Amino acid sequence: MIDLMVHLLFLLLLPPLLMGIINKTKAGFAGRRGAPLLQRYYDILKLLRKGMVLSATTTWVFQAGPLITLIAVLLAGLLVPLGSSPALFSFTGDFLLFAYLFGLARFFTTSAALDTGSAFEGMGASREVTFAVLTEPAMFFAFLVLARLSASLSLAGMLHSRFVALDYPGSVAPMVMILLGLFIVFLAENSRIPVDDPTTHLELTMIHEVMVLDHSGPLLGVIEYASALKFFVLGSVLINIVMPLYTDRPWLNWLMFTSGMIGLAFLVGTIESITGRLRLPRVPALLIVAVLLCSSAFVILLR
Amino acid sequence: MALSGGPASWLPLKASTGQRLTVGLFLGGSLLGLVGTVLSLLDPGAATLLLPWGFPWGRFAVVIDPLSAFFLWLIFTVPALGSVYSLSYWRAAEHPDNSQRLGFFYGLLAASMGMVVIARDSILFLIVWEIMALSAYFAAAVEDDRPEVRQAGWIYLVATHIGTLILIAMFALWYRETASFALLTPVAVPLSRAGIIFVLAVLGFGFKAGLMPLHLWLPGAHANAPSHVSAVMSGVMLKMGLYGIIRVSGLLLQLESWWGWLLLVVGSISGLYAIALALSQRDLKRALAYSSIENVGIMAMGIGLALLGRASNRPELVLLGLGGALFHILNHGLFKSLLFFNAGAIIHAGRTRDLEQMGGLGKNMPVTAGLFLVGAVAICALPPLNGFASEWLIYLGLFKTLAAASPANLALAGGAAVVLAMIGALALATFVKLYGTIFLGSSRAPAAPPAHDPEASMKIPMFCLAFASIFLGLLPSLIAPLLEKAVRLWAPLLASGLTLAALVPQLWLTYVGSGIIIIIAGWACWQKILRQGKAVSRGVTWDCGYAKPTAKMQYTGTSLSQPLVRLFSFALRPGTLKNLTNLPFPGKSEMQNFVPDAVLERLVLPVFQRCSRFIPKVYIFQHGQTHLYVLYVLLICIALFVFSGIGGGL
């Protein structure tokens, strides 16, 4: 019970902190002091109190987009195991719901972007749906590998069961491969470098930031929060794969999990500092690498 | 016995005392049919009607079992809604010369589909199958004064008859193996022959279902038919092909696992290729038609999985595969008809099918836009609507092949789940594109007449279908007993104890789905209250400082899908028409991107054109001189005598 409460609290409160950690890391690499760790919380609270400007072209879809996205991502967050909590809901086939909730979010984010009738946001929507066509297969190959290894068809079973990868000699390589593949998917889905650059939005090459160009005030706050939440939820899947071991002490599990998430944010910040964004036509190649990694993992496992 | 009366009573639709009478009779017939279907379900013994008839072969054998009943639900509802829809869509006053013809063939089409799923004799089946194919032709090609309609109808007619020919061959082989035309009880046919029968069934029925590469007739026919006919063709008639495959494979007791692999691979290819083509279309109804092929591919994958399960003795795969496929057949019938009705409303309002002439319709047609959104979310298989509920079953079946106990190569079927995921992502791109370019943004056609929502008789059928889509998405467990009954009939090996409820927790979809809807509704209300004090100002769309954005600056549907089309250009083979000038004083220049149907335009049509160069040489035999024709008859007779004499001598 306490675990579930902690799950909910972490899910709701932790995500913006990770954004702060990424920005601090990047500032550190650049030799700056950077914004405070809690800056993203301040931003979101500030935005929620503001008024907003709506384009005369838009309809209700424009306003529904961010809300449905947030609800979908939040529900997905209830399905993943975090720390020592096995997930709020868990049932056979919930991983499909998990994947398709992100699809629902994508549908409404891109529709809201198209509602403005702006060329920029159309470009963003176009790229978002394009890259999803390559990230989804990678994700499902990874699910196949996890389902085969854990003999379970629920997220909690796949990620939180105590199957020990090392017990099974053939399973280490597939696990490492899907981990790499999923990490690329994670960067793409969260619009991070090298796929997308979250710090600018006026260039023609952007994806996520350009789709939300017209949102302002509370709606923008909701979007900021939802994207931090998405980072947290997808990141926790990675952390679960890296650290499938759990102790009997809940506090230790939560500590391990939290330090894992902080480490992930640090890693993302480091990647953003030391690499550049790929040219847009090269992005599919990167995503195909992710698909190949995950599919080879599946083939190795079946061999 | 009241059951077969249902479809038959549709036939008096010929009475042309007016469209209303036609629709009234149609609704009455459908209602009678629905009552019959319900009664047949309550009655444990299968409702059977066997009558002798005047033909030398076969007999009038009609049986309603759970499998036919499942299809009857669709046959008795969607066409009925379509006939109500036609009251405003195809007003007799606006189409005085063809509304009667359309009404008659529309009724005949629905009635013959009802007969197809209950006919249990090869000869009777072929007769009603042909009636269905021909009435669909006459209903779809009703605007025969337009050349593109005639062209599409012609291609349809050729394709459907090739399919029927293959079916005749299949039933001939069936007769040879079983010494009977009856399709009543499963028969143990030797495996080698059974394999041929199965392949012929997949080919023959595949033409009707639109499996790639046999789909050539489908996009043109759907695009050029009246919208309610497209809805019935796509929502119901394509499923008759799948019904045929399911029925024939159910009648063959022995099977091999390659049958399942065949359908799994064909379904995967159909799904992927068709949705990529759908994405690249400019014509709204063509895009919807290609998406039907994609969905048929998904259903074929489900059937393939069930065949694999039967071959390897895994009842849970059978239940999830065929159950998911049947459920998806029902769901697709609902939401695709909804989308075609919607397309009709849009065409009615804007008089065009060209996506690049649309935009911003959501403001003038809020009801149509909302209903289209329901259909689009459902067809992308997004929770909480019904598309997800059925694809979920197929997905789970595919993942269940991974279990360690199964034969080693069965786990490869799991790879189909990845194909399904990719199809899902492409479908999402397609329907975001359709919804966005039609309803969102601002109008791309400057002089378009102000659009408006259609009349009530068009809206009510759409509301019914949208409601059914939401309802089945939230309560998929209601339909589970019907699915189980149908699947159990198909695979007798299925232990009677296995239920869908034991395999998949469908109730969770109810919880999560209603959760999503309640939260969204609650949030919407809360937002409205919250926003009251807030300053909301209206402005122009932010275009990076440019103060006067115009509708021309919007992203078009073609540009939205362009990155994906380029990514798949190896298969789609997009073409470009350019007329760009480089003169010092450039005149008007233009450029057009298009994606042809690679199978039709690059493979089949060239072959036919090549053939048509040689065929005129045969014309010398056809000269209109009767006495020479009599000579032909005589020569053929002699040849037959000689041939049979030699045959007898051997």
Q: What is the DSSP string of B279-328?
A: HT-SBHHHHHHHHHHHHHHHHHHHHHHHHHHHHTT-HHHHHHHHHHHHHH
Minimum mean pLDDT range among A235-244, B214-223, B385-394, B603-612: B603-612
Residues A143, B567: C-beta atoms closer than 8 Å: no
C-beta atoms of B524 and A71 within 8 A: no
* pLDDT, average across residues B486-490: 86
User: Of B408, B412, B555, which has the smallest distance from its Cβ to A126's Cβ?
Assistant: B555
pLDDT digits (tens, 9 = 90+) for B395-441: 999 998 887 665 667 888 888 999 999 999 999 999 999 999 998 88
User: Does the pLDDT value for residue B292 go beyond 90?
Assistant: yes
Residue scoring higher pLDDT (B48 or B315): B315
pLDDT of residue B36: 79
Q: pLDDT band at B15, cuts 50/70/90?
A: very low
Do strands A52-55 and B536-539 pair parallel, antiparallel, or not at all (unpaired)?
A: parallel
Give yes or no for residue B8 having a pLDDT over 60: no
pLDDT of residue B502: 77
Instruction: Please choose, from the candidates A117, A280, A121, the residue with its C-alpha nearest in 3D space to the C-alpha of residue A202.
Output: A121
The total number of structural domains that make up chain A: 1
User: pLDDT, tens digit, for every residue of B507-517?
Assistant: 888 888 888 88
Mean pLDDT for A243-254 is 78
Supply the pLDDT for residue B126.
92
* Three-state DSSP class for residue A297: helix
**Are A122 and B560 within 8 A, CB to CB?**
yes
Task: Please report the pLDDT score of residue A20 as a whole number.
Answer: 93
Please give the share of chain B, as a percent, with pLDDT higher than 70: 92
What are the two backbone dihedrals, phi and then psi, of residue B64, each rounded to the nearest 5 degrees? -110, 110
**What is the tens place of the pLDDT at every residue in B603-647?**
788 888 888 888 877 777 777 788 888 998 999 999 988 888 776
Please tell me which of the candidates A117, A135, A144 has its beta carbon nearest to residue B441.
A117
Q: Does A158 or A105 have the greater pLDDT score?
A: A105
Which pLDDT value is given to residue B511?
A: 85
pLDDT score, position B87: 83
Q: Which residue has the tokens 């509920």?
A: B389
* β-pair type (B575-579, B590-594): antiparallel
Mean pLDDT of chain B: 84
Question: Closest to A57 (Cβ–Cβ): which among B395, B428, B541?
Answer: B541
Which tops the pLDDT comparison, A65 or B101? A65
Q: Tell me which of B358, B394, B440, B534 to substitute to probe the interface with A (most A C-beta atoms closer than 10 Å).
A: B440
**Residue B600 vs residue B322, higher pLDDT:** B322
Is pLDDT above 60 for B3?
no
Of the ranges A42-51, A73-82, B17-26, B153-162, which one carries the lowest mean pLDDT score? B17-26
More confident residue, A206 or A265: A265
Strand B60-64, strand A52-55: pairing = unpaired
Residue A293, φ and ψ in degrees, nearest 5: -60, -50
Mean pLDDT over residues B41-60, rounded? 73
Nearest to B540 among A55, A132, A218 (CB): A55
> H/E element holding B592?
strand B590-594
Lowest mean pLDDT of B273-287, B319-333, B580-594, name the range: B580-594
Six token digits for residue A185: 């998917």
Q: Which residues of chain A are within 8 Å of residue B427 when distances are taken between CB atoms?
A: none
Split at pLDDT 50, 70, 90, the class of B44 is: low
Q: What is the mean pLDDT of residues B535-557?
A: 77
In this model, does residue B2 exceed pLDDT 60? no
Domain range for A241 is 2-302
The confidence score (pLDDT) of residue B56 equals: 73
pLDDT at B496: 63
**CB pair distance less than 8 Å for B414 and A213:** no
What is the pLDDT averaged over residues B24-49? 76
pLDDT, residue B264, reads 93
The pLDDT value recorded for residue A289 is 95
Among A266-280, B173-187, B491-505, the minimum mean pLDDT is found in: B491-505
Q: Which residue has the higher pLDDT, B461 or B412?
A: B461
Chain B nearest-CA distance from A1, in A, is 21
* Mean pLDDT score, B436-462: 82
B518 touches chain A (CB under 8 A): no
Please give the pLDDT value at position B1. Answer: 31
Average pLDDT over residues A147-159: 85
Copy the structure tokens of residue B95: 């189409």
- Condensed to tens digits (0 to 9), the pLDDT of residues B107-120 reads 888 889 988 998 88
The confidence score (pLDDT) of residue B18 equals 66
Reported confidence tier of residue A245, pLDDT bands at 50, 70, 90: low
* Closest residue to B559, CB basis, from A126, A151, A218: A126
What are A246-252's contacts with CB under 8 Å, separation 24+?
A: A246/A84, A246/A160, A246/A162, A250/A2, A250/A3, A250/A6, A250/A83, A250/A84
- B 420-449 residues with CB < 8 A to A: 420-422, 424-426, 428-429, 431-433, 435-437, 440-442
Give the integer Cα–Cα distance in Å for A293 and A303.
15
